[in-house]
A and B are shown apart, each in its own frame.
Chain A
Amino acid sequence: DAGVIQSPRHEVTEMGQEVTLRCKPISGHDYLFWYRQTMMRGLELLIYFNNNVPIDDSGMPEDRFSAKMPNASFSTLKIQPSEPRDSAVYFCASSLLQVGTDTQYFGPGTRLTVL
């Protein structure tokens, strides 16, 4: 398996623009997670899905952030409108079993820069 795939790897945009990050989890994994990494807060869990259904989105910072998982092999994280403080590395991860009992496999991340 190719592992978790994320695109784009780098995104530079201007404040106010819409940004869409994409993720393809490992085939057969039922859980998908979106994280944000910053220097100050480390890895923050934004949202996770089980069988394409959002389970916990309490980490989503604001209404400007939204995530979808239309099918088992694809998820998006959208920021609209983007702001400079959204600049971070965004990781997608997937796991076979539920949170807390199974290893999560991370993608390479998308480095987002909002000017």
Chain B
Amino acid sequence: DQQVKQNSPSLSVQEGRISILNCDYTNSMFDYFLWYKKYPAEGPTFLISISSIKDKNEDGRFTVFLNKSAKHLSLHIVPSQPGDSAVYFCAASNNNDMRFGAGTRLTVKP
């Protein structure tokens, strides 16, 4: 039962361009959403989050957008840098549960 889905297993963009990673969820009880970034041979690290009372949260080059009616969120990275190449996990949570997506592997080409 995949409650959080990242339908694109991989994404490749050119350095300097925008990267857009997408995530869909099915459970309307989720009220907090997070993005984690994972480099090879390391554990995921927190990147950015958004509460369901907001529709946008920005932190430097990273912006997360939330569309509650569509149960969809996206992560925008602009401008993309080669160091952003990693696997990005979307997560959705409420007070008792947290679910992760399968991840999207982002490759930023110089």
Contact = CB atoms under 8 A, between A and B. Distances in A.
A106 B6 CA distance: 20
Interface string A25-59: 00000000001000011111100000000001000
A43 B96 contact: no
B101 to A, nearest CB: 6
B59 interface: no
**Looking at chain A's contact residues, is the secondary structure mostly helix, strand, loop, or mixed?**
loop
A104 interface: yes
How many B residues touch the partner, as a band?
20 to 34
A63 B10 CA distance: 34
Given A42-B89, A56-B96, A93 B43 contact: yes
30 contacts: A4-B43, A40-B102, A41-B102, A42-B6, A42-B89, A42-B102, A42-B103, A43-B91, A43-B100, A43-B101, A45-B97, A45-B100, A56-B96, A56-B97, A91-B43, A93-B43, A99-B93, A99-B95, A100-B31, A100-B94, A100-B95, A100-B97, A103-B34, A103-B46, A103-B49, A105-B46, A106-B45, A108-B42, A109-B41, A109-B42
